[in-house]
Amino acid sequence: MKKYVAIYTEEENLFKKYRDMFDSRINLLWIKSDLAVEDQIEKDVVIPAMIINPPKISTEVALKIPGLRLIQVTSAGANNIDIITLNENGILVANNNGGNSVAVAEHTIALMLSVYRKLPRQFSDLKSGNWSGNSSMILPTSHDLSGQKIGIIGFGHIGKKVARRLQGWECEISYNDIIKLDQTTEHDFNVRFESREDIIKSCDIITLHVPLNRETTGMISDREFKQMKSNAIIINACRGPVIDEKSLINALDKKYITGAGLDVTEKEPIEMDNPLLKMDNVVITPHLAAMTQESMKKSSQFAVENSTRVFNGEEGLSIVLPL
C-alpha cells in the first residue's frame, strides 16, 4: 500500500506551500475539503497523518480517511473537531504546539493597554479633529500596567508567554491552571498559584487562555462578573464562548467591571447590532491575534514535522486531550 500525508484544504496555494516544506521522500496528497473525500482517494492507500486548514472537519469525513492516526491543526484550539469520538476510533488530534503563542501573548498585552487607555477612542477623536478634547472621559479608567494585579487563567503555552512578557511591566501576576507548577518554575515566571475564584475576586486584569471544551464553555458568567472588582477588566484571546456574552454585556452595563478586551466573540463574525460594538470601554479585534508572519511559519513547520513523525511510525506530539 502506498502511504501519504494528506493536506485537507480548499486552497491549492496552501497545498503547494506544504509541498515545498515537506521532505521529497514524503508522499503528499491534496484532499479538497469542498469535494467528496471518497472520490479523491485511490484504493489501497493509507494516510496516517493529515493537516487540515482551517481547523474544521466532520467526524464522518475523518473516519473515511484510510489508516488515519493523526489530524494536525495549525491553530492552538481544535474545538471545531469532535476529539472524543475520533479518539474512540483511534484518531488523535494535535495542535500547533505553541506556534502562535508569542503572537497571541503580545496581542493580549496590547488589548490590556488599549482598554486601559481607550486607544480606539483616542484614534477616532484625533481623526475627527478633536485633539485631546475627551481627556476627561479617558482619565478615570486610564491606568499604568505597572503595579496592577493580573490573573492568568490557563497557563499553557500562551499563558506562560503572557507571564514572561509581563515581568518587565512590574506587575503582580497570579495564575490558575489544571496543573500547578513546582516552586522553582513559579519563581522563574514570577507567578503565584491561586484558585480561579480568588483570581476573579482580587485581580485588576483577568486574562483567559484556556481551550474551549465542555468544562470551559461559559466559564465566566453572571456569578463571576458579580465577584470581580468594579475596576477590573477582562481580556479574552482564546475562544469566545468561554465568556457568556449576555452576562458580559450586563456586567458592563451595570458597571460590575470597568472594561473588556476581546479578540474573540461568542458568534463570529460578530453581528453588527451587538451592543459590545457601541461600548467605549470595550476593544474588539476580529480573531486575528495569532496572525503574524512568524507565528504562521512556526505553526506550519510544526505541522510538517509532526505529520512526518506519524508518517514514519512515531508517536505524534502536542496531542489535544479529549475533555
Known catalytic residues are 239, 268, 287
For residue 115, the tally of other CB atoms under 10 A from its CB is 25
Q: Using alpha carbons only, give the angle 260, 193, 178 rounded to the nearest 5 degrees.
A: 85
Burial 198-212 (b: 16+ CB within 10 A, else e): ebbebbbbbbbbbbb
- Residues facing residue 236 across a β-bridge: 208, 262
Burial 49-82 (b: 16+ CB within 10 A, else e): bbbbbebebebeebeebeebbbbbbbbbbbbebb
Phi/psi at 99 (5° precision): -60, -30
Sheet holding 28-32, edge to edge: 28-32, 2-9, 45-52, 70-73, 92-94
Contact in structure between 205 and 257 (CB atoms under 8 Å): no
User: From the DSSP assignment, how many helices (H) and strands (E) are in the chain?
Assistant: 12, 12
d(CA 33, CA 24): 24
DSSP letter at 76 equals S
d(CA 43, CA 45): 6
- As a whole number of Å, the CA-based R_g of the chain is 22
Helix (H, G, I), strand (E, B) or coil at 162: helix
